[in-house]
Chains A and B, each alone.
Chain A
Amino acid sequence: MRNPLGKKITDIQPSGIRKFFDIVSEMKDAISLGVGEPDFDTPWHIREEGIYSLEHGKTFYTSNAGLKELKVEITNYLRRRFALDYKADGEVLVTVGGSEAIDVACRVMLDPGDEVLIPQPSYVSYLPCVVMADGVPVTIELKEENEFRLTKEQVLAAVTDKTKILILPFPNNPTGSIMTREDLEEIAEVVKEKDLFVISDEIYSELTYSGDHVSIASLPGMKERTIVINGFSKSYAMTGWRLGYACGPAEIIKQMIKMHQFAIMCAPTNSQYAAVEALKNGDKDVCTMREAYDQRRRYLVERLNSMGLTCFEPLGAFYVFPSIKCTGMTSDEFATSLLKEQKVAVVPGTAFGDCGEGFLRISYAYSIENLKKALDRIEVFMSEHSKNN
């Protein structure tokens, strides 16, 4: 029998997270600080709306781009929160999570050989999505000394005449770093000068801790060059509902709707009804959760720094990305020994790109009690492994 598989997919390395997941799941009573989703339940009024939609027989397809009411609420929300001005008709596509939006955006924008700049460490999907869309991923290593922000110089150094897209993953998973308005203005300049497009993954946009998130699409001349990707998973604790969206120039969104129509039909109907409620009446929930994350973030950063796992102050998402250089171990060694010896699971920085070597991703999507317990164990681990001993 001949090989049933295509070369493109088999050549893609499985996610480093997956490998570590297999080790962790064999470990009984491990405390995990390894998840990338909120610990909160979806607020009840949002769930209630989902239930209500089921009770009332909202069990059919919606239009391909999404419920009209939801698209309108999305545009209202983006205007209210991030000064983004989109038309509900033609400039919005409701997707199955932000992940689908990333995939579809790559597929409709790339021709074989087009280069895509991917800053790393970052979310694990960008690179495979680009490869499957026949693009050529070009990674840019974000640096700790820049607090893992992307600089103009780094973009300029990576751009060639084949570069078409820059992926902008901020607030960033796994580093927790954000881009300020000034940072973005510099990037926007290069993007315009080099005639690039931006896929801006803003899924963590509600989770920033030093003022509101700024979207690059809100800068002058950038709306026509940017696909903004956002969703409900992180801001409203709705990961399992699988609902995200993409907004951008009508010309691009039109093709994305076509792709989405052939592959997906439409995002889950009940999730869409629940999401309308989230956008209409969920601002308060977002504030409450943000405040809780912020408290945990401060607690975590202070304790990690005090035990020698130094980290810059992450101002977004729900991750801390401490350096483990003082231990002399690799990320993999550290995470594996920590799991074996103290039964605490964290994710090695290398799962998010080779330049994550020397770092760990620690999630604070856990209760303070949980964090406390885990940190106590990490403290013991550090006192046993510190090079100074």
Chain B
Amino acid sequence: MKEKILKAIDKNSKLTAKELAMMLGSTEEEIEKNIKEMEENHVICGYPTLINWDCFENERVTAIIEVKVTPQRGQGFDKIAERIYRFEEVTTCYLVSGNYDLAVIIEGRSMREIANFVAEKLSPLEAVVSCATNFVLRKYKEHGMPLVGEAKEDERMLITP
């Protein structure tokens, strides 16, 4: 049941417990209980909204920063990752395999703001060996949902056999 709930709300967190109960053939209480459990276990960590800021008046700049770090004795990457992800400019932070260690995605109001963050906050950290900043030019798809193109209209004929 939990997996069914997660799959259903993955793309639409607005579904109510009552609706989920009908869709999944369960009861409202059962759904609420499961969701609560998953919230407590951090399976469900929040209910954010997928916003395409490019369509909104005040523009934002997003950058993906490739960060190489020196892992610290006894704490591996976790400590340094935490020091980085705690900055509120950081929206996403992954430890990755490959040519660098941390993929850090940050959002700012301007390129200057991001440049300042990298120069003043990120690079000076002792464990950070190097940073390569990639500015995002256009967002096509996030969270499995396309961000570009016009809202898709139902092109089917209204009544068909």
Max count, chain A CB within 10 A of own CB: residue among B7, B23, B24, B161: B161
Q: How far is the CA of A24 from the CA of B22 in the complex (A)?
A: 29
- Say yes or no: A20 contacts B24, CB within 8 Å: no
- Say yes or no: B159 contacts A21, CB within 8 Å: yes
The 0/1 profile, CB within 8 Å of B marked 1, for residues 295-336 of chain A is 110110011000000000000000000000000000000000
- Say yes or no: A368 contacts B158, CB within 8 Å: no
CB-CB under 8 A from A30, the residues of chain B are 158
- Say yes or no: A32 contacts B158, CB within 8 Å: yes
Dominant secondary structure at the B interface: loop
- Say yes or no: B23 contacts A368, CB within 8 Å: yes
CB-CB under 8 A from A39, the residues of chain B are 154, 156
Once A295-B24, A368-B12 are accepted as A-B contacts, the answer to whether A36 and B161 lie under 8 Å apart by CB is: yes
- Say yes or no: B160 contacts A298, CB within 8 Å: no
Q: How far is the CA of A302 from the CA of B23 in the complex (A)?
A: 9
Residues 1 to 51 of chain A near chain B (Cβ within 8 Å): 15, 17, 20-21, 24-25, 30, 32, 34-37, 39
Number of B residues near A (Cβ < 8 Å) is 16
Kindly state whether residue B37 has any CB partner on chain A within 8 Å. no
Q: How far is the CB of A237 from chain B (nearest CB, A)?
A: 11
CB-CB under 8 A from A35, the residues of chain B are 156-160
Residue of A24, A37, A303 touching B156 (CB-CB under 8 A): A37
- Say yes or no: A298 contacts B159, CB within 8 Å: no
Kindly state whether residue B25 has any CB partner on chain A within 8 Å. yes
Residues 332 to 389 of chain A near chain B (Cβ within 8 Å): 345, 347, 351, 368-369, 372
- Say yes or no: B160 contacts A17, CB within 8 Å: yes
The 0/1 profile, CB within 8 Å of A marked 1, for residues 118-161 of chain B is 00000000000000000000000000000000000010111111
- Say yes or no: B159 contacts A32, CB within 8 Å: yes
Q: How far is the CB of B109 from chain A (nearest CB, A)?
A: 33
